[in-house]
Structure 1
Amino acid sequence: MATKPNLSAADVSRVIEMAWEDRTPFEAIEQLYQLPEAEVIKLMRRELKPSSFRLWRERVSGRVTKHGKIRPAGITRAYCPTQYKR
């Protein structure tokens, strides 16, 4: 079993942000932060208010864009081109 990474407050904030994003798959979070889906769920449970956690779980459960292996072939990136304002 791999050791859990020590995440800074900024990293935890970014993981939470990525977990809420519809088009960011759990595999992207794992690649960047070495947190598999189960650990992301634990982090979200620990960091969010109970009601916010329930809303998040309901939102991501069964969402195909959150899982790289079942994403539709046409989705090649994790965000919309207009998501980040310049």
Structure 2
Amino acid sequence: MAKVPDLDEATKSEVIEMALSDHIAFADIKAQHGLSEKEVKAVMRSALKTGSYKAWRKRVRTFGDRRESYK
């Protein structure tokens, strides 16, 4: 499991908002904040409740299976 990066609250909130969006890819988050996909997942795991994190991962996987360019 990736280590949760040390981010200030504003940056952390922005990363979470971007990750929750269905229109922003992990590559866009990396370009803007320099975080890898594993680091984004670590931030999300630490910020969201377990059920919410699992639902988010399932949604990302489902969309990824349907659309090649998704996250």
**Same fold, judged at TM 0.5 (above):** yes
Does the CA-based 8 Å contact 1:5-1:34 persist in structure 2?
no
Relative to 1, partners in 2 of residues 1:5 and 1:57: Cα closer, same or farther, differing over 3 Å?
Answer: closer
What 5-or-longer segments of structure 1 have no aligned partner? 73-86
Relative to 1, partners in 2 of residues 1:51 and 1:5: Cα closer, same or farther, differing over 3 Å?
Answer: closer
Question: What's the C-alpha RMSD, in Å, of the aligned pairs?
Answer: 2.2
Task: Give runs of aligned pairs for residues 17-32 of structure 1, distance below 5 A.
Answer: 17-32=17-32
Structure 1's consecutive aligned runs of 4 or more residues displaced over 6 angstroms after TM superposition are none
TM, length-normalised to structure 1: 0.66
Relative to 1, partners in 2 of residues 1:62 and 1:12: Cα closer, same or farther, differing over 3 Å?
Answer: same
The CA distance in 2 between the partners of 1:62 and 1:27, in whole Å, is 18
**Which residue number in structure 1 is paired with residue 9 of structure 2?**
9
What 5-or-longer segments of structure 2 have no aligned partner? none
* % identical equivalent positions: 38
TM, length-normalised to structure 2: 0.79
For these two proteins, the number of residue pairs brought into alignment is 65
Relative to its length, the structure with more helix (as a share) is 2
